Amino acid sequence: MKIISDFKDYYDVGMQHGFDPQLPYMRIRKEIKKRQDNSGMMYIGFAGKIYPFFDINSVHFFCSKKPQYIWACEEIPEEFFDEWAKIQNGSRYSARRAKYYYNNAQRLRENLRKRFEETDKLLGLFQKHNTAIFLYKNEHWIVINERLNQFGFQKILPPMEAYQELSMYVGSCMTKPTIEAPPIADKTMAEIKGFDKFSFRKAKK
């Protein structure tokens, strides 16, 4: 696969080991942003698979010294949900309300966990936008062929593995060979399909 693009990404190193010019991938970035979304939840579509992740520092009330992008709900710190529960209820924390806040924080964590698991509904975006790569926040905020190294995606798919998966997806689902097969004679095609000189004759007794 040959990546044709005006920017570089971390998995481009795969082309250093050779590439097939008959399998081009036009990696042209395109933004579809009509509405802001500060929920923090995002999804990367890459080579036919969906990878959910959470931008914890995009939520205005919380700033963490830990990595900005979290790839599993279990890795989000408990204090994040505690703060979220307090903000939603518009009340200060107190020992008397500790159990109430705890239960509400667990509910918020479970709701976010479901968003991590609900990824099948986004698979149709690959075909809809004719792409192998996209960033999704909601139906009004999609970036086609987004640069992935800015999100630390290399921690999920190392460079060579990402390049190989992308090559297989482009080759099997998107790109047709640029060199067409030579034409086949009508007689040869008929024989391939099972027709020969005996096809319409009765066999001799």
Per cent of the chain over pLDDT 70 is 78
Residue 191: pLDDT band (50, 70, 90) is low
Q: Which residue range(s) make up the domain with 88?
A: 2-192
Please check the confidence at residue 79 and state whether its pLDDT lies above 90.
no
DSSP SS3 for 152: coil
Residue among 41, 37, 49, 65 at smallest CA distance from 113: 41
Residue 201 lies in a domain: no
Residue 199 lies in a domain: no
Residue 204 lies in a domain: no
Please check the confidence at residue 93 and state whether its pLDDT lies above 90.
no
For position 126, what pLDDT does the model report?
A: 97
Please check the confidence at residue 196 and state whether its pLDDT lies above 80.
no
The answer to whether 49 touches 137, Cβ cutoff 8 Å, is: no
pTM of the model: 0.78
DSSP collapsed to 3 states, 165-188: HHHHHHHHHHCCCCCCCCCCCHHH
DSSP collapsed to 3 states, 30-94: EEEECCCCCCCEEEEEECCEEEEEEEHHHCCCCCCCCCCEECCHHHCCHHHHHHHHHHHHCCCCC
Residue 160 lies in a domain: yes
Please state the domain count of the chain: 1
Residue 20 lies in a domain: yes
Residue 127 lies in a domain: yes
pLDDT tens-digit map of 108-156: 889 999 999 999 999 999 999 999 999 999 988 999 999 999 999 999 9
Residue 83: pLDDT band (50, 70, 90) is confident
> Per mean pLDDT, which range of 82-86, 92-96, 166-170, 177-181 is the poorest?
177-181
Residues 83 and 176: their CA atoms lie apart, in Å, by 51
Residue 162 lies in a domain: yes
Residue 82 lies in a domain: yes
For position 179, what pLDDT does the model report?
A: 46
Residue among 3, 50, 11, 55 at smallest CA distance from 29: 3
Return phi, psi of residue 153, to 5°. -65, -20
